[in-house]
Structure 1
């Protein structure tokens, strides 16, 4: 493992550990070290979000996962973090705690056919390192495959491991989802999948807001989002709240030059509107 590189919230180099599936990050939202698991080393995703930081992103699904290699890499990483000099040599002061294991990576992790087996594997390793109930197991997902039985199986297994789903919800309009996420999925269908996820495993909405061509989300976009937040409360869908965040790192997509960060004050003002609609909000400008 390359010990020369100090990790920071803006350095999420997924090759820094010189592993295929496992990489460490200092997470600004988590406030500590997150062990990332990348089930999409082929840089393939079924969405193509305009703010995505993955270079060479292609449309597609995760490849077959070498479970034995994934387990060996995860054990090696946790050994270095918990029993080696990783924290002292790679992590800035103030962030030297293991916060979570996060399935994120370079594409949609639930597109891996072995998704439930991966969760079982992580659970085994967490138990061996006495981490169950002590750290979070996160799934950062676009939620588009939540209605598939194997994904639901994985979410149930996650719930038993102090699991938490961060479900992408950038827009509640058809035009917004097509523009931001470049998907033809309807907002109503995505809402159904959100309800499924939230009833299987504790779930947060993760919402990225930014200026497009210098303009923040329109009044119509904001109104649709707030209506969806109110609908979540009205239907008693057990969503934990909203993770509202801005652009921290540059997009690697063709639209990058059209995107810019919004002022922190804009995010805070929008967060207040979401809270008024009935959902808690955590803001990361």
Structure 2
């Protein structure tokens, strides 16, 4: 639900706040301001099904064909309102009136779209039109599953020239089997290869969500496996900017929702300290 005065909230990232198909604004706790989202999955389809996902009616699959002309029209209109109009004053609380980034996120995996490379180029042109190149970030929030594709790798390299960052989902250490958190099969070597492909082309952060299931937090074995995997990534030459460590701020829309609860702040801070002990920067969002 929105506030009665129509202001955006950090605990509500609904994609329909602007009444558009592909473009939506949010106030992001991780971004630290306003993020203009690009949704290439308006059909609520993704190749993963993370148990904490806030997308309603999520289904397995890929995105529909993207109308790039409509995407550009929507993005130009949104940025015109944010940069030149009354958007910040009318929709954003005073302390968050800062345009931080344009982010490929949305209701599914952005890189599943065949139009992703063209969309990156399109966003680059619009950023230049508004004088935003070099002033704000262009972010890709991804599960990394498509990073074996040359077209996706080339698009990520192009993002680097636009002040880009990759936020790569890694919620638990891949164990060469089924991930209960992400509801997919993962292989440690493939994740490492995809991370290497991303980080060698564009600054890359890991994005990790921690929470309790049925009241139980990830135990020592799960934490140790995660930390050992981070250490192995660094030892193998994968260059990471750090870890975006966050908890549950918005309710899951998946069937597991009643079983999930937020991790205590002290627990999250202790894990952040262990990650920092590996020599990695941590941005913690509770």
TM-score by length of 2: 0.96
- Measure the CA separation in 2 of the matches of 1:148 and 1:45: 17
1:119-268 mapped onto 2 (5 Å cutoff): 119-174=120-175, 178-268=179-269
Uncovered stretches (5+) of structure 2, i.e. residues with no partner? none
Runs (4 or more) in structure 1 with deviation over 6 Å come to none
Counterparts in 2 of 1:192 and 1:73: CA distance versus 1, 3 Å: same
User: Which residue is equivalent to 2:75?
Assistant: 74
- Measure the CA separation in 2 of the matches of 1:182 and 1:23: 27
Counterparts in 2 of 1:175 and 1:222: CA distance versus 1, 3 Å: farther
- By how many angstroms is 1:91 displaced? 0.4
Count of residue pairs brought into register by the alignment: 283
User: Which residue is equivalent to 1:274?
Assistant: 275
- Measure the CA separation in 1 of the matches of 2:101 and 2:178: 29
Uncovered stretches (5+) of structure 1, i.e. residues with no partner? none
User: Which residue is equivalent to 2:285?
Assistant: 284
- Measure the CA separation in 2 of the matches of 1:165 and 1:33: 18
Q: Secondary structure at the match of 2:95?
A: coil
User: Which residue is equivalent to 1:43?
Assistant: 44
Residues 176 and 187 of structure 2 are in contact (CA less than 8 Å); yes or no, is this contact kept in structure 1? Answer: no
- Map Cα deviations across residues 23-66 of structure 1 (whole Å, 9 max, x no partner): 00011111111000000000000000000000000000111110
Residues 37 and 105 of structure 2 are in contact (CA less than 8 Å); yes or no, is this contact kept in structure 1? Answer: yes
- Map Cα deviations across residues 180-222 of structure 1 (whole Å, 9 max, x no partner): 0001121221121111111111000000000011111121111
Q: RMSD over aligned Cα, in angstroms?
A: 1.3
- Measure the CA separation in 1 of the matches of 2:274 and 2:92: 36
User: Which residue is equivalent to 2:21?
Assistant: 20
- Map Cα deviations across residues 211-253 of structure 1 (whole Å, 9 max, x no partner): 0111111211111111111112212211100000000000000
